[in-house]
Amino acid sequence: MRRSISYAEPKTALAGEKKTWKFIYAPANDLPKGARLKFDLGSKGRNFDWEIPQSNLKSKKNLIWMETPNKKSLAATEVATPESSLPQFEFTLPGDVKAGEEIAIFLGTPEETGIEKKGNRAQSHTFRRRPFNLYVDPKGKGEYKEHETFHVDVKGGQLHSIRIIVPSVVNKNQRFDVIVRFEDEFGNLTGHAPEGTLIEFSYEQLRENISWKLFVPETGFINLPNLYFNEPGVYKIQLKNLSTDEVFLSAPIKCFSDTSRQLYWGNFHGELVLHDAKENIESCLRHIRDDEALQFFGTSSFESEEETSADIWKGIGAHVSEFNEDDRFTTFLGLQWTGTPGEEGLRQIVYLKDSKPLLRKKESKASHLKKIYKSHTPKDFVSIPIFTMGSETLYDFENFNPEYEKVVEIYNAWGSSECTKAEGNPRPIASKSKKGIKEKADGSIRKALNKNYRFGFVAGGLDDRGVFKGLFDEAQAQYSPGLTAILAANHSRDGLVQALDKKSCYATTGPRILAGLEIAGHPMGSELNTKAKPGLAYNRHITGYAVGIAPIKEILIIRNGKPFHTLTPKGETFDFAFDDDELLEKITLKSKDDRPPFVYYYMRVMQADGHLAWTSPIWVDLGAPSAPEKKKGK
């Protein structure tokens, strides 16, 4: 039985490349005059998708047209589809086409010169066997039942930059690996480099026996194993392209004499623009792990049926379980639950085990946050209040539950809930539209801390689902996606969760800024008291460090919700030590319950480029340890 033939020329495209692309179709059966063919690029119209062409034959730029076997050019008719606001392109045959004769569809320009400017642009992300569909209606009645598929391999373009993936914290003489990614201008892995390109490897305090020259491999990446540092300090791996003299640096690595905690980067809340976690969770997780080089990730589907069906939730759960791997990539199954503004707010529920149910608000057992807490234990999940200062997602902390709410999201791409703009928030929640989300002071994290609610800080990424849907169109202030850093004893679910319990974590606006704060030798998240350490009543010895990706502009030590000590470094690395010798009894805040008076400190780092980091607080109680407030009914 004869079969139709469909193939593309060229078969390979470089990401972002402009060309004239040819899609050739030879039908297995005769197509009569009036038959229709509909071409679908499968793009979503995003700026990184395959460019949508135009259909005016008088234009010679970014054009789609068809050539019949007699070389006659046909214009396309743009037709709407119910699934998308973008058109598909339909052609009506002006004459018969015999079986085996070739029909060609072109994307680009009919001119032979200026193709780089007038051609059609390929998508800017790599994709093996990227499909294009051609639907065929032999009767010409608009009834498309069959389709043919063309495939184009989209590969990385010319070498543009080198990304060096390193651990953020190591011990002296501890062996570690470095991953080197050779990337095109869009961040895709690429092996396309001029012949003979050599890359020189080095770092500060270079040992004499290391002098490496690297080639650019076809795979686009290299693993450099068993590196180590002989002395404590801050290091950056350096790679130099000897052909262009370009120098590329890694994020900073802080080497300690001896530390029991490593630093792991990731997110519990966020979505990818390129790989939708709902539609393609496998690609999403693979991208987070391999391309973004994060060490942990939590899914954050909204609980509504509209956003997340039962089948989608089941698929997400299966992939989260499959991708979870100790010492490589830790995954968490999570969901977003929207409650009453003020009383409950919006929160990220992070399950600590696999195969857990989706808590739908319309169901009685999950209709209120108190019901959810009552039917579970703190060993089941962590509940993270997010976007607490948003007018639509407000959480006033009056029902704060320390057993579940170990950490709070201080920042995501729609703004910071640290404090109000008037109080010095450098990335406030704001909108120029009446329909947008505004800041609400009742959800201020500083205000909650002043009431002796105790939690660590995490950051979220970009989100365009649920309550965040449509913010792009509402003139909402948008910032960079954030990152969470967790300092943990081991890289596993248990290790990361134990670190969250200790509030051993901090938040950044995206860069891998290294930050540390200690009081009397105790790290961020610590809860100290003058009964165990009487000297704290008279003096708190505060030490810390910040290592930026860019020069550090300012370091603020916040005490009791107000800037207490300001440091103005001039470089990317800064260590500090000073004493707060005010009598503790004169500066403490009073708890609204029977807990002792207290004071808290946290650090906010600002780089010269505007990026930020917030360390989790440290608390000091005047007297005995401060027991968590007991919730009613507990």
Residue 300 shares a structural domain with residue 439: yes
Is 281 part of a structural domain of the chain?
yes
Distance CA(620)–CA(338), nearest Å, equals 34
Cα→Cα distances 558→24, 301, 555, 562, 602, Å: 66, 34, 10, 5, 5
pLDDT of residue 227: 92
Please tell me whether residue 547 adopts helix, strand or coil conformation.
strand
Mean pLDDT along residues 138-154: 92
Residues 6+ away with beta carbon under 8 Å from 194:
159, 243
Is 177 part of a structural domain of the chain?
yes
Residue 146 shares a structural domain with residue 165: no
Q: What are phi and psi of 614, to 5 degrees?
A: -125, 125
| Identity at 539, one-letter amino acid code | N
pLDDT of residue 9: 97
Mean pLDDT along residues 371-383: 97
Residue 220 shares a structural domain with residue 252: yes
Bridge partners of 559, per DSSP, are 562, 601
Q: 248 pLDDT exceeds 50?
A: yes
Is 13 part of a structural domain of the chain?
yes
DSSP 256: E
Angle at 523 between CA 389 and CA 481, to 5 degrees: 40
pLDDT of residue 18: 96
User: In 10 A of CB 140, how many CB atoms?
Assistant: 14
Mean pLDDT along residues 407-415: 98
DSSP string computed for 92-122? E-SS-B-TT--EEEEEE-SSSS-HHHHSEEP
Q: 207 pLDDT exceeds 70?
A: no
Distance CA(608)–CA(509), nearest Å, equals 13
Is 272 part of a structural domain of the chain?
yes
Q: What are phi and psi of 313, to 5 degrees?
A: -60, -40
CATH code at position 177: 2.60.40.1930
Please say whether the beta carbons of 63 and 73 come within 8 A.
no
Please tell me whether residue 364 adopts helix, strand or coil conformation.
helix
Domain boundary among 258, 283, 306: 258
Cα→Cα distances 33→97, 134, 158, 347, Å: 8, 18, 45, 60
Residue 348 shares a structural domain with residue 450: yes
CATH code at position 580: 2.60.40
Residue 590 shares a structural domain with residue 602: yes
Residue 239 shares a structural domain with residue 281: no
Residues 6+ away with beta carbon under 8 Å from 581:
538, 539, 540
| Identity at 184, one-letter amino acid code | D
Residue identified by tokens 């080198």 is 162
Indicate the helix (H) or strand (E) that contains 330: strand 330-332
Indicate the helix (H) or strand (E) that contains 285: helix 281-286
Residues 6+ away with beta carbon under 8 Å from 370:
399, 633
Please say whether the beta carbons of 414 and 374 come within 8 A.
no
Residue 247 shares a structural domain with residue 267: no
Distance CA(328)–CA(322), nearest Å, equals 13
Domain boundary among 478, 510, 542: 510
pLDDT of residue 472: 83
Domain boundary among 113, 135, 155: 155
Distance CA(127)–CA(80), nearest Å, equals 26
Residue identified by tokens 């001029």 is 194
Is 516 part of a structural domain of the chain?
no
Distance of CA 175 to the CA centre of its chain: 28
Mean pLDDT along residues 366-371: 96
Average pLDDT, the chain: 94
Q: 632 pLDDT exceeds 60?
A: no
Sign of CA dihedral 198, 203, 204, 207: negative
Is 521 part of a structural domain of the chain?
no
Residue 129 shares a structural domain with residue 207: no
Q: Could you give the count of Cα atoms lying within 13 Å of 188 in the half-sphere of its Cβ?
A: 23
- Report pLDDT digits (tens) over 14-60: 999 999 999 999 999 999 999 999 999 999 888 999 999 999 999 89
Bridge partners of 120, per DSSP, are 19
Residue 281 shares a structural domain with residue 427: yes
Residues 6+ away with beta carbon under 8 Å from 268:
297, 298, 300, 332, 334, 348, 350, 384, 458, 460, 484
- Beta pairing, strands 12-14 & 146-155: parallel
Residue 240 shares a structural domain with residue 325: no
pLDDT of residue 78: 94
Bridge partners of 169, per DSSP, are 254
CATH code at position 103: 2.60.40.10
Sign of CA dihedral 266, 270, 274, 280: positive
Distance CA(415)–CA(477), nearest Å, equals 7
Q: Which of 117, 251, 164 is nearest to 549 (CA)?
A: 251
Indicate the helix (H) or strand (E) that contains 497: helix 493-501
pLDDT of residue 634: 40
Is 352 part of a structural domain of the chain?
yes
Residue 264 shares a structural domain with residue 309: yes
pLDDT of residue 96: 95
Residue 200 shares a structural domain with residue 233: yes
Please say whether the beta carbons of 236 and 204 come within 8 A.
yes
Cα→Cα distances 242→157, 215, 342, 556, 588, Å: 20, 11, 58, 41, 59
User: In 10 A of CB 224, how many CB atoms?
Assistant: 17
Q: Which of 102-116, 242-256, 613-627 has the lowest mean pLDDT?
A: 613-627
Sheet holding 407-412, edge to edge: 415-416, 407-412, 456-459
* Token digits of residue 186: 């869009």
Is 519 part of a structural domain of the chain?
no
Distance CA(188)–CA(190), nearest Å, equals 6
Q: What are phi and psi of 319, to 5 degrees?
A: -75, -35
Distance CA(104)–CA(144), nearest Å, equals 19
Please say whether the beta carbons of 332 and 294 come within 8 A.
no
Range of the domain at 610: 528-634
Q: What domain count does the chain have? A: 4
- Report pLDDT digits (tens) over 89-113: 999 999 999 999 999 999 999 998 9
Mean pLDDT along residues 388-394: 97
Sign of CA dihedral 334, 335, 340, 346: positive
Q: Which of 336, 360, 366 is nearest to 348 (CA)?
A: 336
